Structure 1
Amino acid sequence: MESRETEQDVILRALTPVVDGIAATIGPVCEVVLHDYRRPEKSVVAVAGSVTGRTVGGAMSEIGMRVLARGDDADDELNYVTRTGAGRLVKSSTMVLRDSTGAVFGALCVNVDVTEVDRVQGLLAALAGAAGGRAEAPVTTFGDDIDSVVDALLDDRLRRQGQTWAGLDRSRRLTLFRGLDERGVFAVRRAIEQVAARLGISRASAYSYLSQARATDETGADGTDTTEGAADNPEGAHP
């Protein structure tokens, strides 16, 4: 383990000047971020440019969580478009970092602010009479605080299910926990406690829901709900 960690540290050190070089080459609309996924809460080890407002020592985004959840099966995600909470349109690429054993331990991310390009493209399309509805880019939470990223993912999952926690039946509660797990939320330290607090349930109950979600995901079985107070209004749940 010690030799692997040393190799991973060497790779990160070697890539640090590359971060500045890429950002300087592309210009002020570019941000390059180097992540060490061994420390999800403080994964940013180098950053150049300012598109998402990342700083060294900041947390990974939900995109990083998704890569982390896939582990060594993670692939590069190239040229995807997302939108920041402030409304900036960003084209990004996330390139996973592997050591000589193939283990994924970090990522090099390039973010380019294409907000003005998109605006001009829309104006040109309107002038050409070809303007039409375009798919809205999903909003991604970028921030140095991992708690805000976890909160955003939880809020998004609840919004997608169209209910508060208290309004979800058992099946949808398991779906909620399964979705959060697939997005890598529970790979973050203390995330289970944060999710439990936000949902108004106990930590033990949250662990039970997560365990059942993983079990039903693997077997397709619908076992008995053993979470505490799983009847009408479990744990005094609140919106």
Structure 2
Amino acid sequence: MRIPSSYLVQFHEPEGYLDFARFGPPAHAVVDASTRLLETSAAAGPSTVDDLMRQDLRARAAAARLCRGDTDHVALLPNTSTGLFQVALAVRGGVLVSAGEFPANTYPWVRAPGAEVSWLPAGPVTPEAVRAALTPGIDAVSVSAVDFRTGYRADLAALREAVGDRLLVVDGIQGFGVVDEPWEAADVLVVGGQKWLRAGWSTGFLLLSDRALERLDPVLSGWTGAEDAGLFDDAVHPVGEGAAGWSITNLSPIAAGALATALELVELAGVPALERRVAERVDELAEAVRAAGGEVVSATDRRAGILAFTLPDRPAPVVGAALAAAGVTATVRPEHVRLSPHASTTPGTVDRFAAALRELVAPAPRRTGAAPVTHDVLAALVPTVNGLAEALGPGTEVVLHDLGALPNSIVAIAGDLTGRQVGGPMTDLLLGLVRRGTTQDLAGYETYAPDGRAIRSSTVFLRDADGVAVGCLCVNSDPGAGVPPDRAVNAVEAFPGDVDTLQRLLVERAVDAVGVPVELMKKSHKSQVVRVLDEAGLFLIRDSVDYLAGVLGVTRYTIYNYLNEIRG
């Protein structure tokens, strides 16, 4: 079962984004719907409010379809916590919950005056653990469909059997929309829309079974949850029928429209297809972790879209910082790093993650040294690099590039402002200049080191007897409190530590410049990517044609054809 392109085209989160268990960037259609509804509200007329409020029914109907339930059993909520607090206040008796749950599923039970909390032991909430902990005084069991730390996927059908006639309360935020669960097994299902549903903040819903509606009286039931809510006769009306009685007030119709749009997109793709794609990405990420010598510490059997891992001898914060520096977004906890891909996560994101891990576990690079050069002019300068750096003082880096050794052009380096080593590539800025033949010296321009520090750079091209550029000498320094750089030359460049990183950076930038996802590109788009990369100097890098062909999903001969047309 394939995911329709009409679904995938709705998303364009940055490559490297692997944090959907924390927040899911909304779909283009969600943003458009929210904007349209907000604009409608700005042009208010006689029917505006009534028209906007119809979004409530649309959202509830979509939620009911995905839950295989009834619309009148669904109420809209601004978040998961609100729904869990409502239920906790309505329960009168014992509730069984794991202390390891996300706090949104523990605080309501502790704070509610009528609930008596019994705690499950640490570990997955399994039917066996629940069955062993049940006592006659327990009236409800509360559990997350997917554990936020480990990605363990609760067996809702088996839990339903284990709890018997008691109420089963399920926090579905970490799985709804991307795991195909028997949601009808829950008596109460509470879902927030800002994560896997990608509906944005202040969206969510509550679904109640017949058993829950019969046994629970909503304590927090506002005027919109009363019978004849639109009748203002100075009387307090009885609680309304069904889930409508749990309404406190109207959810923003803009939020309701966003939620409805997001739910309908899930229906378009189909939950089984989304689940399958997420599982494939999790497998690929797990393979990258193991290839780097790491350990997957999250669930491997009953799992959803969450993968947690550790690397030996490297604390999670260190791993997280390295990933962030490589453009990978993840959740970093003291004990592990958590990844959570979605169906729109690209192979390029997996590759970026894998490359970041490889670089992190690689042996520490040598910061100074020299390598064979291709010209006597450069050979004469190699011994002076260390001395020049010492003469210029602390916070200075001197780099000598050999243009005849592209792409591994660094033949000598002293200092560590940019963390590079001998054998590394030149920057994207210099590579583009060389490709275009613009070998003019650059003096005192501002750029940024990989750690974000502003640095002052100067580049002098070195020439042979015929005036042909054969290399360049670059001086980078941290101006600190000294004289600021000359901002007349506004050049910002990247300082990749290896050729693979430089290659990936150039291709990502070119694809972003075209503005069309690779899977939707036509010939004209792909030709434009090749044109941008030709000007950037990508094809000065050995095997770059094969790499780009893999990214664009074409043959290497197609890339050569594009180049012939462009250079024709």
TM-score (norm 1): 0.71
Q: Shift of residue 206 of structure 1?
A: 1.4
Residue 380 of structure 2 aligns with an amino acid whose one-letter code is A
Residue 411 of structure 2 aligns with an amino acid whose one-letter code is V
Work out which of the residue numbers 516, 532, 536 in structure 2 matches 1:179.
532
| Unmatched runs of 5 consecutive residues or more in structure 2 | 1-372
Aligned position for 1:41: 407
Counterparts of 1:144-183 in structure 2, within 5 Å, are 144-183=497-536
The answer to whether the 8 A contact 2:446-2:492 is kept is: no
The answer to whether the 8 A contact 2:409-2:424 is kept is: yes
The 1:207/1:8 distance shift into structure 2, 3 A limit, reads closer
Q: Does residue 1:76 correspond to 2:429, yes or no?
A: no
- Percent of residue pairs bearing the same amino acid type: 37
Q: Shift of residue 96 of structure 1?
A: 1.0
Q: Deviations over 1:145-189 (max 9, x none)?
A: 112101101111222232222334444432221111111111111
Aligned position for 2:559: 206
Consecutive aligned runs of 4 or more in structure 1 exceeding 4 Å deviation: none
Aligned position for 1:18: 384
Aligned position for 2:474: 109
Give me the whole-angstrom Cα distance separating, in 2, the residues matched to 1:57 and 1:31: 16
Residue 189 of structure 1 aligns with an amino acid whose one-letter code is R
Give me the whole-angstrom Cα distance separating, in 1, the residues matched to 2:441 and 2:473: 10
Q: Shift of residue 8 of structure 1?
A: 6.0
Q: Deviations over 1:110-151 (max 9, x none)?
A: 11124x449x98xxxxxxxxxxxx9xx776332331121011
Q: Deviations over 1:195-233 (max 9, x none)?
A: 111222211111112222223xxxxxxxxxxxxxxxxxx
- Number of residue equivalences: 193
Pick 1 or 2: higher relative contact order, CA cutoff 8 A, min separation 6.
1
Match of 2:473, SS state, is strand
Aligned position for 1:56: 422
Give me the whole-angstrom Cα distance separating, in 1, the residues matched to 2:521 and 2:531: 14
Work out which of the residue numbers 175, 180, 196 in structure 1 matches 2:549.
196
TM-score (norm 2): 0.32
Residue 22 of structure 1 aligns with an amino acid whose one-letter code is L
**Deviating more after overlay: 168-177 vs 141-150:** 168-177
Per residue, is there more helix in 1 or in 2?
1
Q: Does residue 1:97 correspond to 2:450, yes or no?
A: no
Give me the whole-angstrom Cα distance separating, in 2, the residues matched to 1:117 and 1:139: 21
Q: Shift of residue 34 of structure 1?
A: 0.4
Give me the whole-angstrom Cα distance separating, in 1, the residues matched to 2:555 and 2:533: 17
Residue 61 of structure 1 aligns with an amino acid whose one-letter code is T
| Unmatched runs of 5 consecutive residues or more in structure 1 | 1-6, 122-133, 216-239
Match of 1:19, SS state, is helix
Q: Deviations over 1:12-59 (max 9, x none)?
A: 122123322331122221101001111113211111111111211222
Give me the whole-angstrom Cα distance separating, in 1, the residues matched to 2:554 and 2:491: 29
The answer to whether the 8 A contact 1:37-1:105 is kept is: yes
Kindly name which structure, 1 or 2, has the bigger radius of gyration based on alpha carbons. 2
